[in-house]
Structure 1
Amino acid sequence: MKTAVSIPDRIFEAAEQYARRRGIPRSQVYAEALARFMAEQESDEELTEALNRVCAEVDTSLDEFGRAAARRVVLPASEW
């Protein structure tokens, strides 16, 4: 599929040089970069879903010790 996108000049030049050095078409550089980006996004979503499943099954509430630690460490470091 053909498409048109606007990208910063420095990224365009870097992709041009990369394609020339490797002897591959520029479109292949962009296609591979986008494929990697999409795979990374899907991986992040899967990780988030897995962590959410674990948190739903595990008691994540703080006991008195945890609440006291949060007051000493987390709250003073937080901006209000």
Structure 2
Amino acid sequence: MKTAVSIPDDLFVSAEKTAKKLGIPRSQLFALALEEFIQNHSNESITDSLNKVYTKSTKETETLASSLSVATLRRSLKNDTW
């Protein structure tokens, strides 16, 4: 698909140099750059989602471990006669 975009002059010059250095058309460079940008942001949203899951899971695990520790301590001190 053909489209028109506006970019700063210095970015255009850098893109031109990079495309020539890589031996690819400028439009292919832009397509590759956009594809990589979208992929990176997609990975970030996956990472954010996983972080939320593991953060929640960790808090629940800590609460459960704390409750079990208190229960174990109470059982072990039940017959203790200080």
TM-score normalized with structure 1 length: 0.69
Work out the number of aligned pairs and report it. 60
Q: Share of identical aligned residues, percent?
A: 38
- TM-fit CA distance, 1:37: 0.4
Which segments of structure 1 move beyond 3 Å, counting only runs of 4 or more?
Answer: none
Mapping of residues 67-78 of structure 1, within 5 Å: none
What's the counterpart of residue 59 of structure 2? 59
Q: Secondary structure, in 3 states, of the residue corresponding to 2:24?
A: coil
Q: Which consecutive unaligned segments of at least 5 residues does structure 2 have?
A: 61-82
Greater Rg by CA: 2
Amino acid in the other structure paired with 1:30: F
Aligned residue identity for 1:24 = I
* One-letter amino acid of the structure 2 residue matched with residue 20 of structure 1: K
Structure 1 unaligned blocks of 5 or more: 61-80
Higher helix share: 2
Question: 2:56, 2:15 → 1: CA distance?
Answer: 44
| Residue 57 of structure 1: how far off its partner (Å) | 1.6
